[in-house]
Copies of this chain bind each other. A is one copy, B any other.
Amino acid sequence: MKLDIAVLSGDGIGPEVTAQAIKALEAVAHSFDHTFIFKDALVGAIAIDKTGNPLPEETLQLCVDTDAVLFGAIGDPKYDNNPSAPVRPEQGLLKLRKELGLYANIRPVKAYDTLIDKSPLKPEIITGTDISIYRELTGGIYFGKKELNDEGTVASDLCEYSKEEIERITHLAFKAAQKRRNKLTLVDKANVLESSRLWRKVVTEVAKTYPDVALDFLFVDNAAMQMILNPSQFDVILTENMFGDIISDEASVIGGSIGLLASASVGDTCCMFEPIHGSYPQATGKGIANPIAAILSAAMLLEHFDLLGEANAIRDAVEKALELNLTTPDLNKVNPLTTEKVGDFIADYI
């Protein structure tokens, strides 16, 4: 297979970890006889610094023209403490999601046996946890009308959803549940929000097409508790944009290291893969950033194109690295490897 891949490595540790993901993909291309062509483009704070725009036109165009986007991380302390600044790296990310139509953000959350002691939760709580979170990514309060009155004393954000927006991600989530343990939990706040009631109605309707999947509902406040009390009860979680942001970040602590968590953002025509961690500016250039989340994002990319054997080759290599404790300082205090050396091991193993 031939794939054109846009590489938006972004800020902070983004470039370092993305480089390791590319190395893993190149190893896969070599072993499985594929052709992956990588094309770099600017995004985030570095794009603001160089062009004044967190998402330059050329970058967007490149993403549209390629088969997939490999994303690093964005964010720089000089913008972080000023959410009112007129231009911010996040705007680039939100615009990218919207323009590419990446309406479903998929985040696997797994408790690795080898890492079970690193979790803030007790081992007996997290054992067996294997969740796939489907977060709606281009609607809701993120993209609804925002208003601030002239005096700057009243501000508002509109959370709006249409049937179509809900349906398309719901189908993806049900299909995923069918390939997993046939359970789907909708997280909403239908006892308070009109938009959540629409989610329940539409999801209940779509569920009829997937009679083999058990559907249940959880209010978001209860979900935030259940995620900690009993995470292994979940299979696929489906939720709207803002609840998904909160619940998936909460879930990310279960595994014991945010440095392992990958994500895919998909739409009807484009797809993007990124580690869920941020740009971690304090670590930039030190060789201490964990590249595994970026590398597992590359595995999600392969899976998206139905290259399942190839994706598993990456995952096996990652599990081996974890098993042998060939990891960065976040997971290995005694004898850590650098970002690059972890990447080398994984690429070699593939």
Contact = CB atoms under 8 A, between A and B. Distances in A.
Interface in A69-107: 81, 83-84, 88, 90, 94
B159 A163 contact: no
Interface in A252-273: 252-253, 258
Q: How many copies does the complex hold?
A: 2
Interface residues on chain A, size class: 35 or more
Given A121-B120, A250-B228, A191 B148 contact: no
Given A156-B160, A197-B83, A229-B120, A142 B192 contact: yes
A41 interface: no
Nearest to A243: B246
A153 interface: yes
A190 B81 CA distance: 10
Interface in A281-333: none
Contacts of A221: 245-246, 248-249
Given A122-B120, A201-B152, A193 B161 contact: no
A214 interface: no
A154 B147 contact: no
A125 interface: yes
A45 to B, nearest CB: 13
B222 A249 contact: yes
Contacts of A161: 154-156
Nearest to A247: B224
**Which of A158, A217, A220, A253 has the most chain B CB atoms inside 10 A of its CB?**
A158
Contacts of A211: none
A191 B79 CA distance: 10
A200 interface: yes
A163 B154 contact: yes
Q: Which 10 A-B pairs have the closest CB atoms?
A: A83-B190, A155-B198, A156-B160, A224-B250, A221-B249, A146-B194, A153-B163, A155-B194, A155-B195, A120-B125
